[in-house]
Amino acid sequence: MSEAASAPRFLALGLKVAALLLLADQASKLALIYGTHLRLTYPWPVLPFLDITVVWNRGISYGLFQQNSELGRWILTAIKLVAAIILFFWLKKAEARLEAVGIGLIIGGAIGNAIDRMLHGAVFDFVHFHVGTFSWYVFNVADAAIVIGVILMVASPFLALSDRGDAKDSP
């Protein structure tokens, strides 16, 4: 199979991953925001080191670059959407399954967090890991998917060598 013919296979995979991730992200957020009393009764201890809580992140990862203005909100939204578009074109050239899955996770996560900014003015984060007084940052499904997606993209060239051969050698 030619390289051009293999790309659509990986494109479809990446887009499916992006769509499923986006659905899972938005469903988890909407269920907690509108389907529970979390906003009134947080934090909810789940394990000694894990709570479900409410944090409205007006910045980017780890709460950096907090934006309290409408202009800042829309600039961050635009950055997420532009990143998703750039990643879509990267996905079209993906040469391995892991690469496509990683890009799909990042695209779905970026769009999920952009939707939060458009609808709520900030990203809804709710998973809080902590040990004693040490508190790791609060995140959501989209954030976790973005981190996993980056790891898969970096690892893909080392772990998916057989994918490249499969795509080119398949009838």
Q: Token digits for 16?
A: 């499916």
Who wins on pLDDT, 61 or 10?
10
Per-residue confidence (pLDDT) for residue 171, from 0 to 100: 42
The DSSP secondary structure of 12-62, one letter per residue, reads HHHHHHHHHHHHHHHHHHHHHHHHSSHHHH--EEEETTEEEEEEEE-SSGG
Separate counts of helices (H) and strands (E) for the chain: 6, 4
- Burial profile 68-92: b = 16 or more Cβ within 10 angstroms, e = fewer: eeeeebeebbeebbebbeebbebbe
Per-residue confidence (pLDDT) for residue 82, from 0 to 100: 93
Question: Hey, where are the domains in the chain?
Answer: 13-169
Q: Token digits for 163?
A: 């994918």
Who wins on pLDDT, 132 or 7?
132
Neighbours of 5 (CB within 10 A): 11
* Residue 38, pLDDT above cutoff 60: yes
| Interacting residues of 19 by C-beta distance below 8 A, sequence separation 6+ | 108
Per-residue confidence (pLDDT) for residue 79, from 0 to 100: 86
**56-96: pLDDT as tens digits:** 988 766 555 566 667 877 888 888 899 999 999 999 999 89
Catalytic residue numbers read 125, 143
What does pTM read for this prediction?
0.83
Per-residue confidence (pLDDT) for residue 65, from 0 to 100: 56
Who wins on pLDDT, 43 or 171?
43
Give the mean pLDDT of the chain: 86
Per-residue confidence (pLDDT) for residue 167, from 0 to 100: 46
